[in-house]
Every structure is written in C-alpha cells, then in structure tokens.
C-alpha cells in the first residue's frame, strides 16, 4: 500500500518540476551565474568583437531597424518552450476570467507607467544629471518623418536642422535624445520575457499568458498615440510590423510548439511519462537559456559599456528607479486587492519589465542607429535581466504576504492534469 501511495504522488506533484534537484542548484546560485555571465559577455565582446558584431547583425530587419535578433530569438525560444509546454490550456481559459489582475496590469501599464517614466527620466536626465551629460552636448538624429522639406537652420521642436557629415539632420540636446529612448521603453510593457519572470517566481503561467495577449493588443492600439503625446511629436508612427513580428516569434511560436508537443506527448506516452521523464529533462533549460541570453546581450554591447560607462550609468539610474517603482506599485495594489500570490507576482512584473525589442526598433526607425535614443533603449536591455531577477527573488521571499487561494494551487500545479 505504501508503494502505491508513493507511485500516485508523482502525477499530483508537478511542483517537482520547479523544485527538482537540477533547478534548485541553478536557483540557489543564480546571482553568481548572472554576474559571471555578464562578465563573460563583456569579455567576449572585447576579445572577439568580430564574432559579437556578426552575431549582433544576424537579425530580421524592418525599415532598417533590427526587430528580431536571431541568436536572441533562439535563446528566448529555449527559455519559453519549457514554460509553454507545462501550461494546461484549460487553465488559460479559467485565468481569462480573472478580471482583477488583468485590470490591474492594464491600469498600471497604460494609465501610470508611461507618465512615471516620463517624469522620472525628465527629473534625472533634464535636471539632476543635466550638467554631467553636458548642457551643450548635441545629438544628431534623423529628420522627423514628413519633415524632410525643412531647410538648414530651421527650428523643429527643441532641435535645429543642420548638415552633419553632408546629410541633413536634426541637432537636439543630447539629454532629450536619452529622454526619448526612455519614453519608448516606458510605453512598451513586456510581452515575452515576463513569462520567464513569472515562471521563476512560481506565478500563474496561464494568467501570465492571458495578460501577455491582452497587453499585446493594447500596445497595438495605444503605442502610437501615447508615444506621440509624450515625445511631443503629435503622432508617433506605430511600428506594426515590428510589434507583430516580435510577438509572433517571441510568444506565438513557443506557445504553438508547447501546446502541440504537450498534446502529442501526453497522448503518445501518457501523463506520468510526460511529468516524470520529459519535464524533468526540461527543468534546467529555462535558466540555462536565460544565462546564455545574458552572455549574448552583454557581448553585443560590451564596447558600448566600456566606451560609455558614465553615460550608461546616467541612463540606468532613472530606468532602475522606474522599474522598482512600477513593480512595488503593482505588488502593493495586488495585496490591497487580496490577489493570490500566484496572480500578484506576474501582475506586478508585466509592468516592471519592458518590450525592449520594439523600443529599440522604434528608436532606430525614428532617430537613427547611432542616436542617444537608441543607446537609451539598449541600456534598458542591459539592466532588464539583472533587475528583474532581483525582483523575482523579492517575490519568492514575500509569498507569505498574500493569500494562497485554493490551497496555494497555481496553473503549474495542475499543468499535467
């Protein structure tokens, strides 16, 4: 009888897939691995700049803007697939009825976050760090869309039309260019990596997927108007192709692969084999792929970090403050609304992180690859992973602040039911 009880436990304990021996080892020393991977990435970028440049250039471009990095897309697929394949899609339908967390994320992402990003960035870049960046420092950006008929010497907003290296460009204060990049990050809530953050925080994967889908739709509707208003350009062109392509590759592709393979494997091998054999093998892959992504990101931009260490710092500080502010606002409101921890963690994180692929593509499209705005969006990439991993740790240590609900069961705990 004891053996039978032991045998029956396995199918009802999918939490094993998250607390298993392999993953607990990675989680236990995750901070160490992150620091090592950042160092390895920067070192790789310095020692093998040709390789880093080649890998960085391997991308799908839209309007001369790199929208999807192929190496990063491969690493993200490896991160996302183990999460997607564990999701019981009946739970996704159930999660879609959770109005409180979905409404909370929409409120924070679209009524709060863009404006706090603008205010914090303006305070630091336009006031506190104004003298350090340089009151007279200029950035030469692409001519505004639809304004190519402006003559040299004409004023447009805070910029002046000039000839720069024989090309008509707009000279703007450098700090304003950095501000524009921060704004583009602030109006692009995360739609892909938040699935990883929610997974690592042991959140409700089904609910996270629903929130990703809804926020992707809202981003298609609000990205242009909000960006245009905050940038002061009246109307920001919506990067439809960039948005759809990035969501399709980073979210839809691993989602489809996870759904189809899960269905086929359970049908062919049974639920016990799926849980105890297949998921056990996948357990550490998300963390390993995350660390590989870190190496790639920092190798691609290692030269930027080394050549502009203080500039990176000036931009990183307001982004860091903004990320923490939005996280704690979402986390605090989740507690006020008495959400389960499994819903509160991803609800707070989807606003704290950014869809940096779209922000970079838009900055390059609007201002140019070498612009300060593009640099600011790249800084967003560099601080995203370390800061979000810190917030994941905070979530895991504060689970007791929230009601567990249903005995603490989450989507993952019914993932193979």
Predicted confidence (pLDDT) at residue 292 exceeds the cutoff of 80? yes
Q: Which two tokens stand for residue 299?
A: 């190798």
State residue 66's pLDDT score. 65
Mean pLDDT on 29-54? 82
For the stretch 222-253, pLDDT in tens is 877 888 888 875 445 555 666 677 777 877 88
Distances (CA, A) of 77 to 196, 295, 303, 339, 401: 11, 16, 26, 30, 33
State residue 287's pLDDT score. 77
Residues 6+ apart with CB under 8 A from 221: none
What is the distance between the alpha carbons of residues 258 and 23, in angstroms, rounded to a whole number?
Answer: 20
- Got the DSSP string for 46-99? HH-HHHHHHHHH-EEEETTEEEEEHHHHHHHHHHHHHHHHH--HHHHHHHTT-H
For the stretch 158-213, pLDDT in tens is 778 888 777 777 888 889 889 999 998 998 887 777 888 888 898 988 888 888 88
State residue 3's pLDDT score. 41
Predicted confidence (pLDDT) at residue 5 exceeds the cutoff of 60? no
State residue 161's pLDDT score. 82
Predicted confidence (pLDDT) at residue 358 exceeds the cutoff of 80? no
Q: Bigger pLDDT: 344 or 283?
A: 344
For the stretch 138-163, pLDDT in tens is 888 777 666 667 777 787 777 788 88
Residues 6+ apart with CB under 8 A from 404: 340, 341
Torsion of CA 124, 126, 127, 132, to 10 degrees: 80
In the 3-class helix/strand/coil scheme, how is 8-43 assigned residue by residue? HHHHHCCCHHHHCHHHHHHHHCHHHHHHHHHHHHHH
State residue 327's pLDDT score. 96
Residues 6+ apart with CB under 8 A from 188: 219, 223, 354, 355, 356, 358, 359
Banded model confidence at residue 112, pLDDT cuts 50, 70, 90? very high
Exposure b/e, 28-50, CB count within 10 A at least 16 = b: eebeebbeebbeebbebbeeeee
Mean pLDDT over each residue of the chain, to the nearest integer: 78
Mean pLDDT on 126-146? 83
Distances (CA, A) of 241 to 31, 63, 189, 237, 245: 36, 9, 17, 11, 6
What is the distance between the alpha carbons of residues 247 and 191, in angstroms, rounded to a whole number?
Answer: 7
State residue 351's pLDDT score. 84
């Amino acid at each position: 009888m004891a053996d039978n009880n032991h045998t029956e436990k396995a199918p009802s304990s999918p939490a094993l897939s998250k607390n298993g021996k392999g993953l607990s080892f990675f989680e236990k020393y995750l901070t160490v691995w992150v620091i090592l991977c950042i160092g390895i990435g920067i070192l790789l970028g310095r020692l093998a700049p040709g390789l880093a440049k080649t890998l960085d250039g391997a991308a799908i471009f839209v309007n001369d803007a790199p929208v999807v990095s192929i190496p990063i897309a491969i690493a993200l697929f490896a991160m996302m697939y183990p999460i997607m394949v564990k999701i019981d899609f009946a739970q996704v339908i159930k999660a879609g009825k959770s109005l409180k967390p979905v409404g909370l994320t929409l409120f924070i992402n679209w009524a709060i976050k863009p404006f706090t990003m603008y205010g914090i960035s303006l305070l630091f870049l336009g006031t506190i760090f104004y003298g350090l960046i340089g009151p007279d420092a200029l950035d030469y950006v692409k001519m505004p869309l639809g304004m190519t008929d402006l003559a040299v010497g004409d004023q447009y907003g805070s910029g002046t039309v000039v000839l720069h290296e024989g090309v008509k460009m707009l000279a703007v204060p450098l700090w304003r260019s950095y501000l524009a990049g921060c704004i583009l990050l602030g109006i692009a809530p995360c739609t892909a990596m938040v699935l990883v953050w929610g997974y690592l925080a042991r959140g409700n994967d089904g609910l996270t997927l629903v929130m990703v889908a809804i926020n992707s739709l809202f981003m298609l509707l609000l990205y242009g108007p909000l960006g245009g208003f905050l940038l002061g350009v009246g109307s920001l062109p919506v990067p439809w192709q960039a948005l759809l392509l990035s969501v399709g590759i980073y979210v839809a592709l691993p989602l489809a692969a996870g759904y189809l393979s899960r269905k086929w494997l359970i049908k062919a091998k049974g639920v016990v084999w799926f849980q105890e054999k297949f998921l056990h093998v996948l357990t550490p892959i998300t963390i390993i792929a995350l660390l590989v992504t870190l190496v790639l990101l920092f190798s691609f931009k290692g030269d930027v970090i080394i050549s502009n260490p203080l500039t990176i710092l000036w931009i990183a500080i307001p982004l860091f403050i903004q990320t923490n502010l939005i996280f704690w606002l979402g986390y605090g409101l989740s507690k006020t609304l008495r959400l389960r921890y499994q819903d509160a963690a991803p609800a707070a994180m989807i606003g704290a992180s950014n869809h940096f692929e779209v922000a970079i593509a838009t900055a390059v499209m609007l201002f140019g690859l070498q612009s300060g705005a593009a640099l600011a969006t790249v800084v967003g990439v560099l601080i995203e992973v370390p800061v979000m991993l810190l917030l994941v740790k905070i979530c895991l240590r504060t689970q007791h602040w929230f009601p567990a609900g249903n005995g603490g069961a989450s989507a993952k705990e019914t993932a193979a039911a």
